Amino acid sequence: MNKKELLHLLKSEGFKKEGYSLEGSSLFEGHCLDYRDGLWAVYYFERGIEFELEEFDIEEQACQRIYEKIKTDPFMKR
């Protein structure tokens, strides 16, 4: 899946939109997807710090990874 498909999936499955960003670390705290320096980055952002950073060459792999992280986070479901 790509970023557009991921956003649709997250909305349709009812995940808290305030708990993730697909545009980088624009959150105070939450799961983030960002494209920078030619790589897709997946990480958890909290208090200005990136945690558990993973980088991918392929958008689909990054989207799948952040989806897995959001899906298994018990605080993300409404």
Question: Domain locations in the chain?
Answer: 3-71
In tens, the pLDDT along 25-74 reads: 877 799 999 999 999 999 999 989 999 999 999 999 999 999 999 999 99
Structure tokens at 25: 């670390």
pLDDT reading at 2 higher than 90: yes
- Backbone angle region of 30, left / alpha / beta, with phi > 0 → left and psi within -120 to 50 → alpha: left
> Which is nearest to 22 in space by CA: 6, 45, 1, 9?
6
Band of residue 77 on the pLDDT scale cut at 50, 70, 90: confident
